Amino acid sequence: MRTSSAPRIHFPALCDRVARARAFGVASWSNHMTRRFVPFAAAAAAVLLLAGGCSDDVVCPEGVQDGVVPHISAHVMQGSDGRAEWTHAEVVCSADPLPSILIAFVNGRELSGVGTSGDLALVRFFDQDVIVWQPGSVCSLEVTSDYGYATAAAAVPEAPLVSAPAALTIGDTLRLHWPAATGADYYRVMGTFTDSPVSADRGDRETLAFLTTTRDTAAAFTTDSIASPGEFVGVVEAVAGPFPQGGTEGNISGDGWGFFTLRYSDAGSAFTVALSDPRAPRGD
């Protein structure tokens, strides 16, 4: 693993490409989760390999300044809402130039779906109606491109069991807490808010209310800015892998560098909280 002695370096044009590819990966993940089941269970793996330059929030590996390491963001999500099960895996590769070859496997399963993000990245993915990984099992990633071969492996953590209030009023603080999950290095907390329709010709509107990571076993979110009643729906995922912060070293080996993380949750990790408006008139 090429991590410890390399300096921080800056290549603005290529870092901008990497940042846009990162944003594409986050948007793709959020859009996919919105289309799937909520509440849901999820396991995810993410890899970050930076090509040609790094920003202040990472430690660059040796060889990055030579332009020989691609940026790869990969995740695996598994879901179950008690009615259906599914697995989504995706690898997004950004490099300058983009590779002509990109082959990815997760636990021996090839990601054979093909996609692109304009001139930003190449995408490989698969979707299956099964759950593949269970807590304690080892999840492995293999990525082959024109730039070389990179691998990583980690064990799936246990799912957190989340406690949340059943209902709040606008202005209250939404407080979530959970016991420490075995194998988790930190937690990813995501919630959407759907407001109640104000008229028959306008349906519900769902928005991403919060998305954050924490090492704590609690999280809190204010509701002061919400203007109408509705409902929060979300999940807390246990994450095994390097915490995303300044100076964190990657855990990838081979011809690449970056972060490999596993996320997992189950039905007990999901929460639903009704939000009412104390100013609304009450019927007799």
Tokens of 43: 């396991």
Give CA–CA dist 243/213, Å, rounded: 8
Q: What is the predicted pLDDT for the residue at 217?
A: 98
Host H or E run for residue 24: helix 12-35
User: For the chain, what percentages of helix, strand and coil (3-state, to nearest 5) are there?
Assistant: 10, 40, 50
Q: What is the pLDDT of residue 252?
A: 73
pLDDT along the chain (284 residues), means of 10: 29 42 45 40 41 44 53 73 76 80 90 82 87 85 88 88 96 97 95 76 77 96 90 92 78 76 86 88 56
For 24, the token pair is 């594409």
Buried b (16+ CB within 10 A) or exposed e, 216-237: ebebebebeebeebbbbbbbbb
- Check residue 244 and give its pLDDT: 76
CA 53 to chain centre: 23
Given this model, what pLDDT does residue 251 score? 79
Distance between CA atoms of residues 25 and 30, nearest Å: 9
- Give the burial class of 138: count Cβ atoms within 10 A of its Cβ; 0-12 exposed, 13-18 middle, 19 or more buried: exposed
What is the Cα–Cα distance from 46 to 27, expressed in whole angstroms? Answer: 14
Distances (CA, A) of 121 to 45, 75, 80, 252: 18, 15, 29, 20
pLDDT recorded at residue 199: 46
Q: What is the pLDDT of residue 249?
A: 75
Instruction: Say what the pLDDT of residue 198 is.
Output: 54
Residues sharing a CB contact under 8 Å with residue 153, sequence separation 6 or more, in sequence order = 138, 139, 140, 141, 260
Q: Can you give the pLDDT at residue 42?
A: 40
